[in-house]
Amino acid sequence: MPPKKASAGDDGAAPAKKGGGGLTKPMTLSTELAAIIAKEKGEKLSRAECVKRLWAYLKEKNLQDPENKQFFTPDKTMEPVFGTEKIRAFSMSKFLKDHLS
């Protein structure tokens, strides 16, 4: 049997971290989005963290459709980002593109 090749982390050292990009890149929130999910003024969040906090907000405020939890109706705080119509929660990330920079 050939000897096992050493891989990153075998020597006990942590592998080198890559720069944050894509879903993990910290981004600036619009004022409207920050009003919904930011805990502190000027807080930067990744797209994934924004979605996570939006789900928490939906559940906390009981905004999901009780018959089909895939849908929610935005409240007054969410209207500037999502409008007033009932939408599918899994498509909420397309609304975020105009509110993250």
**Ranges assigned E (strand) in the chain:** 27-28, 44-45, 71-72, 87-88
CB 72 within 8 A of CB 65: yes
**83 against 1, higher pLDDT:** 83
Tens-place pLDDT, residues 9-35? 555 555 544 556 677 889 999 999 999
Residue 7 has pLDDT above 60, yes or no: no
Q: Which of 54, 45, 39 is nearest to 91 (CA)?
A: 54
pLDDT of amino acid 1? 63
Beta bridge mates, 39: none
Tens-place pLDDT, residues 43-75? 899 999 999 999 999 999 999 999 999 999 999
Q: Which residues contact 90 (CB under 8 A, 6 or more apart)?
A: 70
Model confidence at 2, in pLDDT bands (50, 70, 90)? Answer: low
- Structural domains in the chain plus CATH codes: 25-96 (1.10.245.10)
Identify the H or E element spanning 56. Answer: helix 47-60
